[in-house]
Amino acid sequence: MHSSDSAVLEALSRALGAGQSPWLCLIESTIGSAPRPVGSLLAVLPSGELIGSLSGGCVEEHLVERLLGGEFSNNVISRVEFGLDADQNARLGLPCGGRLVVLLQSISNRDQQWITAALKAIAEHSVLVRCLDTESGESQYQLAPHFQALSRDGAVLTHCFGPRFRLLLVGAGQLAADVATLALAMDYEVILVDSREYALNTWQGPNIETILGFPDDVVKARAQDPLSAVITLSHDPRVDDLALLEALASDAWYVGALGSARTSQQRRTRLAELGVTQAALDRLHAPVGLDIGSKTTIEIAVSIMAQLTALRSQT
CA atoms within 13 Å, Cβ hemisphere of 259 = 21
Residues 198 and 247 in one domain: yes
CA distance readout (Å), 19 to 12, 46, 107, 115: 11, 11, 11, 15
- CATH number of the structural domain spanning residue 275: 3.40.50.720
Query: Are the CB atoms for 219 and 247 separated by under 8 Å?
Result: yes
CA distance readout (Å), 20 to 11, 23, 50, 105, 181: 11, 10, 14, 14, 36
Which residues contact residue 108 at a Cβ distance below 8 angstroms, ignoring those fewer than 6 apart?
Answer: 16, 21
250-297: per-residue pLDDT in tens? 999 999 999 999 999 999 999 999 999 999 999 999 999 999 999 999
209-242: per-residue pLDDT in tens? 999 999 999 999 999 988 899 999 998 888 999 9
Residues 90 and 237 in one domain: no
Separation between Cα atoms, residue 184 and residue 187, nearest integer Å: 5
Mean pLDDT of the chain: 90
List the beta bridge partners of residue 254: 229
170-187: per-residue pLDDT in tens? 999 999 999 999 998 887
293-310: per-residue pLDDT in tens? 999 999 999 999 999 999
Which of 103, 128, 161 is where one domain is finished? 161
Which of 161, 178, 208 is where one domain is finished? 161
pLDDT, residue 94, reads 52
Q: Which residue has the higher pLDDT, 311 or 147?
A: 311
% of the chain surpassing 90 pLDDT: 74
110-120: per-residue pLDDT in tens? 999 999 999 99
pLDDT, residue 76, reads 95
Residues 174 and 157 in one domain: no
Which residues contact residue 168 at a Cβ distance below 8 angstroms, ignoring those fewer than 6 apart?
Answer: 191, 192, 193, 218, 219, 222, 223, 228, 229, 230, 231
Residues 143 and 170 in one domain: no
Q: Which residue has the higher pLDDT, 17 or 188?
A: 17
Residues 134 and 205 in one domain: no
Q: Is the pLDDT of residue 87 over 60?
A: no
Confidence of residue 1 (pLDDT cuts 50, 70, 90): very low
CA distance readout (Å), 139 to 45, 103, 114, 232: 20, 14, 7, 42
Residues 258 and 135 in one domain: no
pLDDT, residue 245, reads 97
Residues 123 and 82 in one domain: yes
Residues 198 and 77 in one domain: no
List the beta bridge partners of residue 153: 156
Residues 144 and 33 in one domain: yes
Residues 198 and 79 in one domain: no
Three-state secondary-structure class, residue 278: helix
pLDDT, residue 31, reads 83
Residues 156 and 202 in one domain: no
27-61: per-residue pLDDT in tens? 999 887 667 789 999 999 999 999 999 886 678 88
Which of 115, 131, 161 is where one domain is finished? 161
Residues 177 and 252 in one domain: yes
Count of the separate structural domains present in the chain: 2
State the residue range of the domain holding 52: 4-161
Separation between Cα atoms, residue 262 and residue 304, nearest integer Å: 19
Separation between Cα atoms, residue 92 and residue 27, nearest integer Å: 15
Separation between Cα atoms, residue 87 and residue 96, nearest integer Å: 10
Q: Is the pLDDT of residue 89 over 60?
A: no
